Structure formats: structure tokens, C-alpha cells
Amino acid sequence: MPLSGHAEPNAPVRDFATLRRALVVLLIATVVLPAGFLLYYGITSWHKALNDASGFATRSSRITEEQALKVFELNEVIRDRVLQAIYDAESHGGTLGGYAMTTKLRSIAAPFDHLAAVSVYDASGRLVVTNDPYLGVPRSLAQTDAFRSAARWNQGDYVTEAIPLRGHRDRIFDVITPRHLSDGSFAGVVALSIRASYFEDFYRELVTGSHIGQLALMRNDGTLLARYPPPVPGDVEPPVPRGVLAAQLGGTERVRLADTQAIIGYRRVGSRDVYVTDYLRLDQVFSRWLARTAIVTGFSVVPSIALFLVAFVALRRLDSEEKAWRQWQAEASLRRAAEEDYRHALKMESLGRLTGSVAHDFNNLLMVLSANARLIRLKMGEGNMAKQWRAIERAVHTGEALTRRLLSVSRKQPTRAERIDLRSRLAEWKGLIEACAGPQCDVRIAVPDSVWPVLADPTDLQLALINLVANARDALPAGGRIAISANNHQAAHEHAGAASTAEPDRVRIAVSDNGCGMSADVAARAFEPFFTTKELGKGTGLGLPQVYGFCQQAGGDAQIISHPGMGTTVALFLPAAAATEAKAPTHAGLHAAERDGDVPRPPASDSEIPAPAPGEPLSWQSPATAPADANAVPDGRPSRAARARHALTGITGLELLLVEDDNEVAEATAAVLNLDGHRVTTAPDAHSALQIYHRHARYDAVISDVTMPGPMNGIDLAIALRDADPSLPVILVTGHTDKLSLAQREGLLVLPKPVNFDVLRSALPRAA
């Protein structure tokens, strides 16, 4: 929570307790609801599968019953025709065993495929005649139960057991009907031999492609007459249904087989003692039920598992989100002060640009006024106008004070630069840094003893490190490593005559994390104010701009090194206090005297520059810039330095190059210098000044404004001139202080605008 105890004004309201309860309910529901549904579906669908199997068995038995009933009804028609043929033969005194009867039986049996033979037996059970003597029908039925039953009861039809035909793979069973003499006595039987294959072929068509395990035709005592599929040696036949043994009309039963259970359907064929049966294996019913249930389970469980995982992950992340949310509020509270300071800095920067521009123009006006007033006074004398001249001078001085106050507004936010020992300071700040990083991050600080101290504002440095650690923590939602290190970054100093300016020694402070990193486009904009990649309400976009502004104000720089998936490193380059204090301000490099500390040192930074008195130099030039032998030059002409020292009594006769972009300022200044006896050449910008200098390289000194149009300013011009001629004195004039640190590092003499011409007159021999 914020340190103040109140939520951030724009913080989103989050009810984590309600969210947690909702996720727990959702998590339980993703388990209980699918399990309950599948349990209900499994039970109801299994009962339905059993009912469907029983219904299917019943329908199958009805189909086979109808087929068997038609066959037996057709047998009755054939039997009546055979009995009529026997009656006709006996009525006409013929014999039953003759050729005529055989032919008659053949004609009767020929149209019917299910008939194998039609035979007539006498009262003793001996075969009298058959339509096919070679078929192998039994020669006697006297020992069969069916014949004895027919002889005993002398009515109805009787079915024998199925026997194989000799020389055939088929089997036959006989349907026996008793015949009587005219007096009603038993005369024998008519036997219709039925092919078992006729039924089995029909059963095969029904079984193929269906769920039926077996179709069979049997007597009421369980004796099989026909079945499909045919029995396999070693198979255990299913038990005879109890309803068949009890002579019931039909129904279904559940029976146990050798390795499973089965549902058997049975139907009685008319009023005969013959039944048709079928059965379905329950393991096959279970397999089909399981397949359907698996599909339903898949469609139910897969979304439920996905929802469960989402709820589980969300519940796991809720704690971390709550912790991050509270840390964010605390961070936002800590950053409020930084945001206020940054907004103030932005206002001051805008105001500074405006006031700086006004002050620059006002300085030029004051300089024109001061120069022309001086010219008039020198040419005309004060006379009775002394009071008025002093009033003009007071007005000029008042204007100078006003411009100094305006320029103080245009400077950056004041800082308190101190010599900071990073090893001890980071040890002091470690607790605060670890608290900002949070317990999920491992903070490691590595500062070797050899690291130089830096010159910066300790409060701004602490805030910059906190901002960087907070950003690193946000890039590590699941935790990770944050490393803070420091090392010396020694610049490669340029030799005299080089075109570029040597960078001072700096200390590199790096804050690294092993988070997700950022793309090049994001890294390029990371220092922009208010730019953020965080979600709405979770980032202010002010952390990195504060870091960058701090580094710039301290005279350093900041850099981001990041690649997607490889973490981020933000490096702060701050000026080394030891290097700043020990470095001589010459452009040519460090001389022995400078390394030994024998020369005076300039102030360390802009923020430490004391406000000068009116007209006093803002900066200075090291005596090391003077040549070792300043008495003569190769052509025998006295050197510039000699002429300048000689001119201390009169300060006249110097060749001066004046560089000023404002024509009125240039004319007024040149007129004053001409009046002092100097010869002045003017140039409107640095580029023109270089061209003039290279055409006439006999100038004793150069006076240049700092801020000028074009790619080069006055400091660039001074450096270029000194590279060309180290003995050439250069005096810079400016109304701004933003370039003073560079001028100090280069050891240049800088006078404030508007220039006090007495100070300028004394500065000429000092520069020379």
C-alpha cells in the first residue's frame, strides 16, 4: 500500500478476495460438474444400452421365428400332398415302394430348396420309399425318440436330432408326421428331411454386420438343429434359456458364458416344440457403450480440464498479482515526489528556454547601449553631462543584474553535487533497494574497491537507482536476478591537434536484470517522458526520464542495452570526482605539472560555479597554454605574448579578430576597441572567422561570442583555433552558462555579457 495509507488516485479498484472466491468456486465446479454429469450419463446410457440390447435381441428372434414358421407351415402343405399321394396309391391297389411313388415324391419335393428328402416309413419304422434313395436318409427310425413318440401318441409333428448327410457337409433333421389307416390304426410316418444349411444361410445374413453373437434353431429340450456361426471345437455352448425349457412363448434372459455374460432372446415357432434363439455378448455391448461414453467424456472433460487449468493458473497468479498491485501502489507513492520534481523541471526547462532567449537578446541590447555610451563619453567628454552618463551606466548595470536573474531561471534544476563513494553509499542504500525489488528478486551489488568516487547529487542518484530497480522488478513478474555493478570507464584521451574533444573519465553504474528485455524500437523511446509499455494505470513513464535527466545534469550520460528475451541493462555514466579534480583544463593533454597537481583546478561542474561579480570572468585559462619561449617568433617579430605584456602600460596596437553574429554588437564593440588603439576585424560566424584567420594568421587575440548560428559555436571555434595555434589567446563572451563546463574543461577564458570593457581591456593581456 502507499506510504500515505491511501490508494493512488488513478489506481484501479481490485477486490482480490472476491476474485479468489470466484476462482475457487470455478475450480471446484470444473471438477464436480463434469464428474456428476459423466456419472449420470454413464448410468443412464448403460441402462439404455442394456435395454437396447434386449430390444434388439427380441426383434432378431421375431425375425428368425417368422422365417422358421413359414418353413414349418410349408412343411405341412408338403406333408398333406404326400399323404394324399399315399392315399391315392393305396386306393388304387398300388404299392408304396414302386417307381411311381418315388417319381411322385420327387415331383413334390423338387420345388423346395429347404427339403433334402421326402420319405415314407411303415409301422415298424422301416423305410418304404424316398424321393432320393442315394441321399443317405436313415433306413429305419424305429430307435428314434421322435418315431416312438409318433407311434405312441399317433398325432402332431415330431422333430428328430440333426444328423450329417453321408458324403455331404450339410446336416438334416426330420419332421415326422404319423399316418393312419382307414380304421385309425398307426400305419407309419411321413418324414420330411430339412436341410440345416437352409436356416444357417439365413442366419448368416442376419449376423453379418450386426451385433448379434449367434442365431440358432433348437428343440424345446435344447437340442440344436441349426446355428450360425457354426460351433468351433472347444467352444462352450451358451446355456439353454429357462424359458425354452419351460415351453414359454418367448422373451429375453441374461445368461453367463465362459468369459462374459450375454442377453439371449428366444421365440417359440408357432405351437411346435421348436425355438429360435439369438444372443448378444455383454462385453460387446459394453465396448460400444464405452466408445460412445469416451466420446462424450472427451467433449466434456477436455473443455473442463482447460477451464480447470485456466482457473488454477489464475488462482496461482492472483497472489502474485495482488502482491504486485500493492507494490505498484507503494511504488507510485514513492514516485509521486519524483513526478512532481520532473513536472517542475519540465516547466523550468520551458521557462528557461524562453528567459534564456530574452536574456540573450537583452544582453546584446545592453552591450550596444554600453558600448555606444562609452564611445560618446570618450569622444565628447563628460562635461556637464556627467550625471546623465552615470545614470546610463547605472541603467546598464541594473540591466546586467536583471539578465543574471533571468539566466538563473534558465539554468537546470539546482543540484548539490558531492563526492560520492559508491561502495559505502550503495551499502547504505542496499536495504531500500532490496525493499523496492521485493522478495521475489535476488539483488546483487558488486562495487570493487578500485572504483573512483563520482561527483553527483546523492539524492538524485538514489532516486535513479530506485527507479531502475523498480523497472527491473516489473520485468521479472515471476522473480529473477537484479545486479547493480560499478566500474571505471576511462576515456581514451586525444592528443594535441586532434579534432575531437577528449571525454573525461567516468564511472559506469549498471543496473541489469534477466527479464524479458525490450525491442530496439522500445529501447529507443525509453527515455522519452511519459512513454511506457506497461498496461494502462500501471506505469507513469517518468522513471527512465528522471534517470536520463539526472545523468545529463550531472555531466554524464545514460544508455540502454536490451534484447528481447535476454534482459536489460541500463548504464549510468557519471563523471569521476577524482578525474574531474585532477584533470588539467588544457586541450593538448595532461602535462607533468598537471598530473602532479601543481596547477589550479577549475570548478567541478556548472552547479558549483559561483555567481560572478559584474564583468568578472566566468572562466579562466591555464598558464600551461602559453608557449615555453614567448619572447620571439621565427620572423624576428615580437611574439603576441611579448606585445601583450609590453602593452600593459598602454594596451594598444593589438590585431584582434572579433566574432559576433549581432551586427550592432559587433560594430559597437569594434568601435570601442578601435578607440583603445587596436585593429579589429569582424566576422559574423565561426566558419567565416576560421576563413579570415587562415587568410591572415597574424592576430594577437580572438574575441568570440559563444552562441552563434551555424554548425560551430564559439567554443568549437576556440578549440579549432587552438588546435591550429596553441599560443593564440581566445576570449569567449556569453550570456549563457550551459556551455561553461565544456569551456572550463578546455581552459578557456569566458566573460559574461554584457561585457565590461574595462574587464575586457584587462583580459586582453591576461589571455595573451
Question: How high is the pLDDT of residue 617?
Answer: 52
Q: What nine digits make up the cell of 175? A: 419332421
Question: How high is the pLDDT of residue 19?
Answer: 86
**Per-residue pLDDT averaged across 750-768, rounded?**
75
Q: Judge if pTM exceeds 0.75.
A: no
**Per-residue pLDDT averaged across 618-625, rounded?**
40
3-class DSSP state of 201: helix
Alpha helices in 381-457 (DSSP H): 386-410, 422-437
User: What confidence tier does 12 reach under pLDDT thresholds 50, 70, 90?
Assistant: low
**Per-residue pLDDT averaged across 656-680, rounded?**
88
User: What confidence tier does 410 reach under pLDDT thresholds 50, 70, 90?
Assistant: very low
Question: How high is the pLDDT of residue 160?
Answer: 86
For residue 9, is pLDDT > 60? no
Question: How high is the pLDDT of residue 253?
Answer: 84
Question: How high is the pLDDT of residue 341?
Answer: 54
Domain that residue 114 falls in? 14-233+241-312
For residue 491, is pLDDT > 50? yes
In a domain, 351, yes or no: no
Question: How high is the pLDDT of residue 585?
Answer: 38
Q: Which of 553, 575, 597 is the last residue of a domain?
A: 575
Q: Which of 558, 575, 592 is the last residue of a domain?
A: 575
In a domain, 618, yes or no: no
In a domain, 603, yes or no: no
Residues 548, 684 within the same domain: no
**Per-residue pLDDT averaged across 500-528, rounded?**
80
Task: Name the more confident of 8 and 222.
Answer: 222
Question: How high is the pLDDT of residue 581?
Answer: 52
In a domain, 137, yes or no: yes
In a domain, 27, yes or no: yes
Rounded CA separation 369/577 (Å): 43
Question: How high is the pLDDT of residue 621?
Answer: 42
Rounded CA separation 453/22 (Å): 55
For residue 155, is pLDDT > 80? no
**Structure confidence by residue, pLDDT tens digits, 365-391:** 877 787 787 777 777 766 667 777 778
Residues 571, 661 within the same domain: no
Which residue, among 721, 716, 683, 684, has the nearest Cα to 700 in the 3D structure? 721
User: What confidence tier does 507 reach under pLDDT thresholds 50, 70, 90?
Assistant: very high
- CATH number of the domain residue 714 falls in: 3.40.50.2300
Task: Name the more confident of 496 and 670.
Answer: 670
Residues 549, 670 within the same domain: no
User: What confidence tier does 734 reach under pLDDT thresholds 50, 70, 90?
Assistant: confident
User: What confidence tier does 615 reach under pLDDT thresholds 50, 70, 90?
Assistant: very low
**Per-residue pLDDT averaged across 281-306, rounded?**
87
In a domain, 334, yes or no: no
DSSP symbols for 690-711? HHHHHH----SEEEEESS-SSS
Question: How high is the pLDDT of residue 87?
Answer: 83
Based on the structure, what is the number of domains in the chain? Answer: 3
**Structure confidence by residue, pLDDT tens digits, 18-40:** 888 888 888 888 889 888 999 99
Q: What nine digits make up the cell of 187? A: 400305419
User: What confidence tier does 7 reach under pLDDT thresholds 50, 70, 90?
Assistant: very low
Which residue, among 281, 149, 313, 148, has the nearest Cα to 214 in the 3D structure? 281
**Structure confidence by residue, pLDDT tens digits, 38-69:** 999 899 988 888 888 888 888 888 998 999 99
Count Cβ atoms within 10 A of the Cβ of residue 547 and give its class: 0-12 exposed, 13-18 middle, 19 or more buried.
Answer: buried
Task: Name the more confident of 765 and 282.
Answer: 282
- CATH number of the domain residue 137 falls in: 3.30.450.20
Which residue, among 336, 608, 560, has the nearest Cα to 463 in the 3D structure? 336
Rounded CA separation 26/487 (Å): 53
In a domain, 396, yes or no: no
Question: How high is the pLDDT of residue 100?
Answer: 81
Q: Which of 312, 333, 350 is the last residue of a domain?
A: 312
User: What confidence tier does 408 reach under pLDDT thresholds 50, 70, 90?
Assistant: very low
Which residue, among 502, 498, 486, 500, has the nearest Cα to 579 in the 3D structure? 502
Share of the chain above pLDDT 90, in %: 12
Question: How high is the pLDDT of residue 659?
Answer: 93
